Amino acid sequence: MADKKNEEKKGKEGGAAADGAPKEKKPLPKAVLIAAIIGGAIIIQSGIFMVVLNNMKAKAVVTPEQVEVEEAKKAEEEKAAEAGGAQASPIADSTKLFYKVEDLIINPLQGGRRLLAVSVTLEFRDEAGPISAKARDGQIRDVLIKTLSAKPVDELQDIMARDHLKLEMVKGINEAFGAEEDVVIKLYISNFVLQ
């Protein structure tokens, strides 16, 4: 009987059992478990960050040469469509007439700590407009920021003044394009948050 107690004591103290069975594993300390959980969370957050970062990549810069190549391709496609007797659907082509300018953050005139977050969609006269807009994204953003940051908070809050504000932005963008005929025919505000 004393032998059994001695064997149990040895087993509890970390010694091997008398019958040759492997000794019992000690549970991991709490600090090791916490470190493992934190490490796993960091790995998961890193993965999420990489996915978000890939989705937020900056838009590619388009050179004037690339714009000319795209316009030449479209002209060839139009000639091929005319030669084949096929006509393009206005509904299918209408999506090619738009260009989005998203996530502008602006400090209004005399706004103090107020911010305006705005996104707009530009509608163009023809399909070459969005291609040019992609190449001139910086100029378009500059015009929008200058126009909106020159407005006091009261004017930005006035819903009745929005149509005039839209016309002012369209005029500024058309002037930046420098074309004889208006390139942008309409501007839609898709996001407008003043805080």
Q: For the chain, which domains are there?
A: 94-194 (3.30.479.30)
Q: Containing H/E element for 186?
A: strand 184-194
Tell me the per-residue pLDDT of 113-147, one tens digit each, with 9 for 90 and over: 888 899 999 999 888 888 888 888 899 999 999 99
Q: CA 59, CA 87: separation in Å to the nearest integer? A: 32
> 118 by DSSP, 3-state: which?
strand
Q: For 75-84, 102-111, 184-193, which range has the lowest pLDDT when averaged over its residues? A: 75-84
Task: Evaluate if pTM is beyond 0.75.
Answer: no
